[in-house]
Structure 1
Amino acid sequence: MDRKGGEERASDGYSRYGSYVGAREERFQDHWAKPEQKPLDPIYFANVAWEIATPPVMSPGLVDWRADLHKVTVGYDEEYGRDLMLTVELPLEHHQLAAKIPYTYQDWDRPYRSYEDGFQFLAQPGTRHDRPTLITMVTVRHILGSVTLVTPGKPTGRQLVDDALLSVEYTAATVNAELPEIIRNVQGEPR
């Protein structure tokens, strides 16, 4: 989470993320409770705060993720709505699959740039006439059971920005603690 960079590039002098939150204050309000403008439930609040902090809403995002992960979203458990749920889109290369894929099949492209952290971004290849293309994207869903949820105070202004920043910070810390082992297990060792 790049909180310092957000403060340095802030058009409002306080927080770049705060500008995005301010422009979307209505998303942080429980519309069923109007006219009181009651703040959202902590799980829904965390969902909205994360959504605004990440691309495509905020780009570059307040939260960044490893190059080998294509998308990281936080939402709520749709069945019960009582848990914060992480969803990650993760591309897998042929060697990571249990099935033996013919060598002639086209796989994910590895662009020329590599990353200092050792994670490789995988790009979709162009489709060729002379051989099939097989790219695999895995969706990992995980309940963030140990996340500290923020109960928002005022649904507007600086208090809303501070609560949303804290929510994103807590969520990012939980993702960083719980996600790496899951991703290692999914990717497995090269065969």
Structure 2
Amino acid sequence: MFVFNDRQDRDRASDGVSRYGVYLRRYPKLFASLDEDGTVTGDPAVFAAAAWQVATSPVMAPPYLGWTAERLQSVALTHSEVDSALIARVLFAVPRPSALASVAGFGDWDRGDRWNRGYHIPYHDRLSRRPAMLTTTLLAFHIPAAELHTPADAPERLTVADAKASVKRLAALLDARCAPVLVALDGLGVAR
């Protein structure tokens, strides 16, 4: 479901090494430890959320980390209030539920074209002619810190290797948790 643009990361790097690394150096405060002593956090949940934020749009455009699941609208990460964990909120476009199927006068998701596939909010010109009813489902997951990548180079330094390992591990965890939902939606031939 997720893709990593490693080749573009090297080929488009202004420092000759890693474009993602350049962006990481622009946002060191996202990785600051809670001790406020200038060190990099060793907390896997805090580190993963920061690494994900930098790796995705709108911070990186084009992003280091993208996704291929057409229904995926967004991934939001927050820190658990009860333990050292991430709370992941993953939003998917879904078909209109049967309770709303009989409500007339609304358009649906714009499905794009062969170059811009996915489920998109219709452009303003289409909305000016017809409102849209865009239904989604929100999946929320508790991801314990023990399941996440622990940054090896923290607290001394922020490294591209740790950041990439962190986003790749988190992507794998989210992929495993979201796959059954995508299979249920797309595997049954549900088009809208």
Secondary structure of 1:175 counterpart: helix
Q: CA deviation at 1:112?
A: 4.3
Counterpart of 2:48 in structure 1 is: 46
Equivalent residues of 2:51, 2:163 under 8 A apart? yes
Secondary structure of 1:10 counterpart: coil
Secondary structure of 1:151 counterpart: coil
Counterpart of 1:167 in structure 2 is: 166
Secondary structure of 1:48 counterpart: helix
**1:128 and 1:102 mapped to 2: Cα distance?**
22
Count, aligned residues: 183
More divergent stretch after superposition (68-77 vs 146-155): 146-155
TM-score of the aligned structures, taking structure 1 as reference length? 0.78
Counterpart of 2:147 in structure 1 is: 147
Secondary structure of 2:90 counterpart: strand
Alignment of 1:77-116 (within 5 A): 77=80, 79-94=81-96, 97-102=97-102, 104-114=104-114
Equivalent residues of 2:122, 2:132 under 8 A apart? no
Q: State the Cα deviation string for residues 107-154 of structure 1 (Å, max 9, x = none).
A: 3233440479xx73232364457x664222322212235833223424
Sequence identity percentage: 23
Q: CA deviation at 1:42?
A: 1.2
Amino acid at match of 2:58: P
**2:127 and 2:24 mapped to 1: Cα distance?**
40
Q: How has the CA–CA distance of structure 1 residues 45 and 99 changed in structure 2, closer, same or farther, with 3 Å as cutoff?
A: same
Q: How has the CA–CA distance of structure 1 residues 147 and 115 changed in structure 2, closer, same or farther, with 3 Å as cutoff?
A: farther
Q: How has the CA–CA distance of structure 1 residues 51 and 163 changed in structure 2, closer, same or farther, with 3 Å as cutoff?
A: same
Counterpart of 2:134 in structure 1 is: 135
Counterpart of 1:120 in structure 2 is: 118
Amino acid at match of 2:35: A
Q: Which runs of 5+ in 1 are unaligned?
A: none
Q: How has the CA–CA distance of structure 1 residues 82 and 100 changed in structure 2, closer, same or farther, with 3 Å as cutoff?
A: same
Secondary structure of 1:19 counterpart: helix
Cα root mean square deviation, aligned: 3.0
Are residue 55 (structure 1) and residue 54 (structure 2) matched?
no
**1:87 and 1:7 mapped to 2: Cα distance?**
30
Secondary structure of 1:33 counterpart: coil
